[in-house]
């Protein structure tokens, strides 16, 4: 599809009422970029040439979570489907379909998830893969922080809670995480694991508690802010 300077199109390929992309050709631009025009309530996609707009639009769509958040538009959940770009450990991953009913696999050096199945079956396979990835990473980070605090192992589980990222029950020594955190960048995942493990020492959110978290991951404020700013978008994926 050829795009033109000044053209407007929906951010969401499926169309609808989400954010609008305004295409802009600027011969002096040295690379593709996206900026937010808050007054117009649009994301401006900039390319040096009209031909470059196609790639610029694709680039903007990989940043859709960021665009939605910056425009304060609640991201609309949509089912996980081929062609969609989601994030895994903070990096874009494209969803692709293959014929048959095979399980989802992470391929192309982690930039593509390929799965069989159609419709809901496809979405479920992709979600199962994301849950497996979440379990592996969270087990590893939880163990790491347990060892750092000289704590014995806990029972860990992965859930799909509506809004919470994790919970810890010190009496039963169980920790539960939302698998959705696997879409966040690694330091955010690490912070979440530290947050829950530190509750084995202090069940509250007292200054003493936060100093344990700080011992584990250093300054935790940027990661808490990240979850506050982008968490809503991660909870909307696939819903
Ligand atoms: Zn807590």
Which pLDDT tens digit goes with each residue over 40-83?
A: 778 999 999 999 999 999 889 888 878 887 877 655 667 899 99
| 50 Cβ contact list (under 8 Å, min separation 6) | 2, 3, 4, 5, 25
Query: What was the pLDDT predicted at 11?
Result: 86
Segment (H or E) for 198 = helix 186-198
Query: Could you tell me what percent of the chain has a pLDDT over 90?
Result: 68
Query: What was the pLDDT predicted at 212?
Result: 98
Distance 137 CA to ligand 1 centre (A): 20
d(CA 236, CA 238): 6
Contact 11, 20 (CB under 8 A): yes
- Band of pLDDT at residue 14, cut at 50, 70 and 90: low
Residue 205 predicted with pLDDT over 80:
yes
Decide which of 135 and 16 is more confident.
135
- Band of pLDDT at residue 33, cut at 50, 70 and 90: very high
Query: What was the pLDDT predicted at 38?
Result: 74
Distance 16 CA to ligand 1 centre (A): 37
Query: What was the pLDDT predicted at 166?
Result: 94
Number of CB atoms found within 10 A of residue 19's CB: 21
- Band of pLDDT at residue 235, cut at 50, 70 and 90: confident
| 39 Cβ contact list (under 8 Å, min separation 6) | none
Distance 67 CA to ligand 1 centre (A): 29
Query: Which of 186, 184, 168 lies closest to 86 in space, CA to CA?
Result: 184
Question: Each residue of 174-204: pLDDT tens digit?
Answer: 999 999 999 999 999 999 999 999 999 999 9
Phi, psi (degrees; rounded to nearest 5) at 225: -65, -40
Distance 91 CA to ligand 1 centre (A): 26
Distance 195 CA to ligand 1 centre (A): 6
d(CA 123, CA 96): 11
Residue 99: both structure tokens together:
């014929």
Distance 157 CA to ligand 1 centre (A): 16
d(CA 84, CA 92): 10
Distance 151 CA to ligand 1 centre (A): 17
Residue 16: both structure tokens together:
């609808």
Query: What was the pLDDT predicted at 152?
Result: 96
Distance 216 CA to ligand 1 centre (A): 14
Distance 164 CA to ligand 1 centre (A): 10
Residue 16 predicted with pLDDT over 60:
no
* 215-219 average pLDDT score: 97
Number of CB atoms found within 10 A of residue 239's CB: 12
Query: Could you tell me what percent of the chain has a pLDDT over 70?
Result: 95
Three-state SS at 4: coil
In whole numbers, what is the pLDDT of the chain averaged over residues? 90
Query: What was the pLDDT predicted at 64?
Result: 83
Distance 100 CA to ligand 1 centre (A): 43
């Amino acid at each position: 599809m050829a795009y033109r300077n000044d053209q407007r199109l929906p951010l969401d390929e499926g169309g609808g009422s989400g954010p609008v992309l305004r295409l802009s050709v600027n011969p002096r631009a040295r690379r593709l970029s996206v900026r937010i025009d808050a007054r117009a309530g649009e994301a401006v996609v900039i390319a040096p040439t009209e031909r470059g707009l196609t790639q610029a639009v694709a680039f903007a769509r990989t940043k859709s979570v960021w665009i939605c958040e910056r425009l304060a538009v609640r991201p609309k959940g949509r089912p996980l489907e081929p062609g969609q770009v989601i994030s895994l450990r903070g990096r874009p991953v494209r969803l692709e379909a293959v014929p048959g009913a095979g399980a989802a696999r992470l391929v192309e050096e982690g930039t593509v998830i390929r799965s069989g199945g159609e419709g809901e079956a496809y979405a479920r396979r992709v979600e199962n893969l994301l849950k497996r990835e979440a379990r592996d990473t969270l087990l590893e980070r939880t163990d790491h922080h347990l060892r750092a605090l000289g704590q014995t192992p806990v029972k860990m589980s992965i859930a799909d809670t509506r809004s919470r990222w994790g919970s810890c029950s010190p009496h039963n020594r169980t920790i539960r995480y939302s698998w959705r955190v696997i879409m966040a960048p690694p330091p955010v995942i690490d912070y979440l694991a530290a947050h829950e493990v530190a509750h084995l020492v202090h069940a509250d959110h007292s200054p003493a508690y936060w100093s344990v978290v700080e011992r584990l991951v250093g300054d935790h404020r940027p990661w808490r802010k990240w979850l506050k700013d982008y968490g809503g978008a991660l909870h909307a994926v696939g819903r």
